[in-house]
Amino acid sequence: MLEMEIIFLIKENIYYRRLYQDLAQSFSLDTLQEHLKPVRVLDRYFDTPDLKFLRRGASFRVRERRFLTGQEPEGRLAIKTVHPDNDKTKLALLREERRLILDGWKLQKINEFFEMFGEMLNCEPLKSIIAVEELSEEIQLGEGDEHFHLSFDKVTYIDEVTYNHQTEYILEIESHGVPIVILEDIGEYLMEKWPLEHTKENKYLRGMRFLNLV
């Protein structure tokens, strides 16, 4: 599955609902739908001892989503690799994502399984390198087959060995069926009007940099 998103670092206080409403009005997105939120997310990024995934711009993530509305937790496995056209875009990060949604499998059991799986597959263990905790508010703009998913995230990167941690705030805009030209237009608009800093770095790479692990 092709994932198309734009990532912004939030450098000043922003009332995010006002930003969402601004986008809905400016781009004629009539539906402003808030759903299933807020969400608390715990990610663990796995890699080989020599960081093969990181060096290729890829990531191997185990995620547990906990809905603060009382909904049952959800587990997800995802492998993301850089799309060949990623260098052709100005703002959008293009990645191929392979995802598996799990029901009722404890996060610790998933971690143990993939440490074992990595040794069997590569003759190299896949170890949890960093953890990333997120508290997210999510909103959908638009409806049907063409819409945007926006997420305002408080992101904390954690070194799993030392427990050193660093926090930042991120806005992600992901396209679902919307042409990349429109996604990039929205990104340009936000950069001009709001105090945002653009990045094409994924969270695995950002966390490794923040924690001085690369």
pLDDT digits (tens, 9 = 90+) for 51-74: 988 998 999 998 887 766 666 667
Residue 178 backbone phi and psi in degrees, to 5: -90, 135
* Listed residue (80, 92, 58) closest to 1, CA to CA: 80
Residue 66, Cβ density class (10 Å: 0-12 exposed, 13-18 middle, ≥19 buried): middle
Token pair for 11:
């450098």
| pTM of the predicted model as reported, rounded to 2 decimal places | 0.85
Could you tell me which residues come within 8 angstroms of residue 198 by beta carbon, excluding any fewer than 6 positions away? 6, 7, 8, 9, 91, 187, 191
- Write the pLDDT tens digit of every residue in 140-199: 888 778 889 999 999 999 998 999 999 999 999 999 999 999 999 999 999 999 999 999
Give the model's pLDDT for residue 113: 60
- Tokens matching residue 39: 């969400």
Q: Average pLDDT for residues 202-213, to the nearest whole number?
A: 96
Q: Does 2.40.320.10 match the CATH number of domain 2-210? A: yes
Ranges 1-5, 34-38, 97-101, 204-208: which has the least confidence: 34-38
